[in-house]
Amino acid sequence: MSFKKVIDAIQKNHNFIVTSHANPDGDALGSMLALGAGLKFLGKKVKIYSRDGVPKTLAFLPNTNLVSRDLTVDEPFDAGFIVDCAEKERVGDIFRDSRGIKKLIVVDHHLKSGRCGDINLIDAKAPSTGELVYRLLKKLKVPISKEIAVPIYCTLVTDTGGFRYSNTNSKTLKTASELVRLGAEPWFVSKNVDENYSASRFKVLGKVLETMTLSPEGHLAYGLLTRKMLSEAGAAVEDAEGFINFFRSIGTVEVAVQFREESDNLYKVSFRSKDRVDVAAVANQFGGGGHARASGCTLKGSLQEVQSKILKAVEQAFKI
C-alpha cells in the first residue's frame, strides 16, 4: 500500500485533477467529491472532472455543482487522480489522450486493476474506493467535515448494497458509524439512493423481467435490456441501474447475468454471484473486470453470439 507515496505527491504538488470512470456510480462520484473537498481544504487547486457529469440520482451529494464536464487534452495539472477505476480509457477519450497531467495517481479497490498510475493505491479488500479516500484524508489530517462524510458514506451504501453484501464487515460498519457521527444522515442518503427512482424505471423493469431465463437447475438467471425497451419506456440507461440484482435475489440462483444492448452488435454484460463463483474471473476472459461478486465486460457480436460465449464461460466457472 502506497499511502506514503500518495501523501508525498499531494504535499509536493498544487494543481490537481480528480476524475473517475464515465457514467459515475455512487462510489465513483462520492470518492471524487470527498477527495476534491479534502484537497481544497489543504489549499490545493482542484478540478473535478466527469465526462458524463453528475447522474440525476446523485445530484443530492454536496458540491456536485463543482463537477466539470469540460477538459482539453493540453490542460496542465501537476497531478491527476483516477478513483474507483484504473484504466485511463474508461474515464473517456479526452482524458485518455491528455498530455497535460504530469503524475497520475490511481485510488481503486478492484481485484484486477489496470494500475495505470505512476502511483497506485489499490486495496481489493476495501468495501468502496471512498473508504480508501477516507483513510487517505485522515492520514493527511484533513478534518472530516459533513461535505466529506456524506459522499464517503454514500460510497459505502452504494458499493455494499446498503451494508448487505459480502464486502461488509465490522470495520465497514465502524467506518459508517464514524461518518454518521460526523454528519452523514443514513435516511437522507438512502432516501436519495434507493427511493428516488423515476416511474419509467419500473416500466422498463417490467420488460426486462419478462426476458428472464432460468437454467434448468435454477443456478443461473439471465435477462436482456435493449435500446428499444428503454425508448418504449421513456427511460435512460441510468434508470435501469441494478436490475441484475433482482435475478440474483432468486433463492436458487448463484450467478445472474444481464445483457444490455449498447449499440448495434455491442453488448455490455454484467455479472453478479452469490457465494462461490468468481465472476471477476469470467469478466476477465472477455477483457472486463470487477469484483468476485460483481463484474462486467463489453462484447461485440450478435446477441446470440454474445450470449452463447458468455453462458459457456459461466458454465465453466461453475465447475471450478
Footprint of Mn ion (CB under 5 A): 27, 84, 129, 159
Position closest to Mn ion via CB: 27
Q: Which is nearer to Mn ion, 29 or 257 (CB)?
A: 29
* Dihedral (CA of 110, 70, 189, 132) sign: positive
Nearest distance from C-beta of residue 159 to Mn ion, angstroms: 5
Nearest distance from C-beta of residue 125 to Mn ion, angstroms: 13
Q: How far apart are CA 53 and CA 64, in angstroms?
A: 9
Q: Which is nearer to Mn ion, 120 or 129 (CB)?
A: 129
Q: Which is nearer to Mn ion, 27 or 254 (CB)?
A: 27
Q: How far apart are CA 284 and CA 290, in angstroms?
A: 8
Nearest distance from C-beta of residue 188 to Mn ion, angstroms: 21
Q: Which is nearer to Mn ion, 50 or 129 (CB)?
A: 129
What is residue 276's DSSP assignment?
S
Backbone angles phi, psi at 136, to 5 degrees: -60, -45
CA distances (Å), origin 64, targets 24, 73, 92, 224, 237: 12, 23, 19, 32, 20
3 state DSSP class of 210? helix
Nearest distance from C-beta of residue 279 to Mn ion, angstroms: 15
Nearest-Å Rg of the Cα atoms of the chain is 20
The answer to whether 117 touches 106, Cβ cutoff 8 Å, is yes
What is residue 64's DSSP assignment?
G
Q: Which is nearer to Mn ion, 20 or 98 (CB)?
A: 20
Q: Which is nearer to Mn ion, 57 or 129 (CB)?
A: 129
Backbone angles phi, psi at 60, to 5 degrees: -75, -15
Nearest distance from C-beta of residue 85 to Mn ion, angstroms: 8
Nearest distance from C-beta of residue 157 to Mn ion, angstroms: 12
CB atoms within 10 A of CB 100: 15
Backbone angles phi, psi at 252, to 5 degrees: -80, -15
